[in-house]
Amino acid sequence: EPEVTQTPSHQVTQMGQEVILRCVPISNHLYFYWYRQILGQKVEFLVSFYNNEISEKSEIFDDQFSVERPDGSNFTLKIRSTKLEDSAMYFCASGKTGVSYEQYFGPGTRLTVT
Amino acid sequence: DAKTTQPNSMESNEEEPVHLPCNHSTISGTDYIHWYRQLPSQGPEYVIHGLTSNVNNRMASLAIAEDRKSSTLILHRATLRDAAVYYCILRKTNAGKSTFGDGTTLTVKP
């Protein structure tokens, strides 16, 4: 069964450093998303991406964040200058076209900012 | 955005049916009812979704009230692997974002 994959599974970085989290969505999906979950808290929406542009973003997704689909398979989330409060699990998700199809989530990348 | 209300926690015995309720009294006509679950240390996993009619798939059944103001996720025979946080989410058409609440933590006892 096709699945969303994410790399790395765990990333440790120092405050102020740039990080890139990588995702490979399911191949025939056209909608892509990033969510995050701070330890013990809710899953929070960050951004959705369709047709090579951001379709929606949350207040969390400020100028420090960017997303890109650099080729036909990868979908990346970049944090330019990490802060301690960016420590969280980051989940990528993808979905088909059509009316309210389900989202498929990856296993997540645990980001630890020290 | 319309809001959902779920009990914080529920318990079930293994191999018994589980009915997980969700209230969404302010649901609009364009909202689909989605259920996801999150097993410990994993990403959310799609379970089922519907609009007006009851739905069945290999994982669960979804019963939707006639006025659509509530729904119930039914796991027909709970297993230990079903212990997870279950989220009831309203999503607009055309693949909008999912807004996760606190969900219901399901504990399955052997």
Q: How many CB atoms lie within 10 A of CB B42?
A: 15
**Average pLDDT rounded to a whole number, residues A76-83:** 97
How does strand A109-113 pair with strand B18-23? unpaired
Which residue did the predictor score with more confidence, B29 or A86? A86
Q: Which residues of B touch A43 (CB under 8 A)?
A: 38, 44, 87, 98, 100
Q: Which residues of B touch A32 (CB under 8 A)?
A: none
Nearest CA-CA distance, residue B97 and chain A, Å: 7
The predicted pLDDT at position A43 comes to 96
Q: Is pLDDT above 70 for A55?
A: yes
Q: Which residues of B touch A91 (CB under 8 A)?
A: 43-44
Q: How many CB atoms lie within 10 A of CB A91?
A: 27
Query: Which among A93, A99, A103 is the nearest to B94, CB-wise?
Result: A99
- Supply φ then ψ for residue A85, to 5 degrees: -75, -5
The predicted pLDDT at position B1 comes to 67
Sign of CA dihedral B30, B35, B41, B42: negative
Quick one: CA torsion of B69, B7, A106, A52, rounded to 10 degrees?
Answer: 40
Q: Is A25 on the interface with B (CB under 8 A)?
A: no
Which residue did the predictor score with more confidence, B72 or B41? B72
The predicted pLDDT at position B30 comes to 84
Please give the Cα distance from A49 to B32 (Å, whole number): 20
* A9 φ/ψ sector (left φ>0, alpha ψ -120 to 50, else beta): alpha
Q: Is pLDDT above 60 for A100?
A: no
pLDDT-based confidence at residue A101 (cuts at 50, 70, 90): confident
Query: Which among B49, B95, B102 is the nearest to A42, CB-wise?
Result: B102
- Supply φ then ψ for residue A94, to 5 degrees: -140, 160
**Average pLDDT rounded to a whole number, residues A87-93:** 97
Are the CB atoms for A94 and A33 separated by under 8 Å? yes
Do A97 and B100 make contact, defined as CB atoms within 8 angstroms? no
Per-residue model confidence as pLDDT tens digits over B42-59: 999 999 999 999 999 999
Supply A62's token pair: 């400020």
Per-residue model confidence as pLDDT tens digits over A2-41: 899 999 999 999 999 999 999 999 988 989 999 999 999 9
Q: Is pLDDT above 80 for A97?
A: no
